[in-house]
Amino acid sequence: MEEKLKSLEELKSRVREGNQKLNDAWQRLVKMDHNTQRWEEEMERWHQANERLSALCSELKYAGFHDCLYIEDGRKTRGCLTEGLGCRVCPSSKNYWESELMELPSGKR
């Protein structure tokens, strides 16, 4: 049982880190010249990484984890809409982003 919990925590950590890496990479891609072979290659790598991250997220769900990756001690420590691009993948069965969207001032929706 303890080994299963350790494995679940490692998987959650990998998905959190993957979300951050993809968001960082996206910020770099946006700044690149889009009419180059390098940009096309980097964009393809980014899409492939998204697919792998999605598979890891599916593993989390299969393992029974269906909540936000950023809940600690019963509260959310990171917003869905306030941290750059948000999460690329999310195992949560609750759409936290919907309530966050409704809380935004109407001019920012």
Please give the model's pTM, rounded to 2 decimal places.
0.82
At 75 the three-state DSSP class reads strand
Q: Where are the domains of the chain?
A: 2-108
Per-residue model confidence as pLDDT tens digits over 77-109:
888 876 667 888 999 999 988 888 888 777 555
Per-residue model confidence as pLDDT tens digits over 25-56:
999 999 999 999 999 999 999 999 999 999 99
Per-residue model confidence as pLDDT tens digits over 7-20:
999 999 999 999 99
Give how far Cα 61 sits from Cα of 28, 40, 87, Å.
Answer: 30, 32, 15
At 68 the three-state DSSP class reads coil
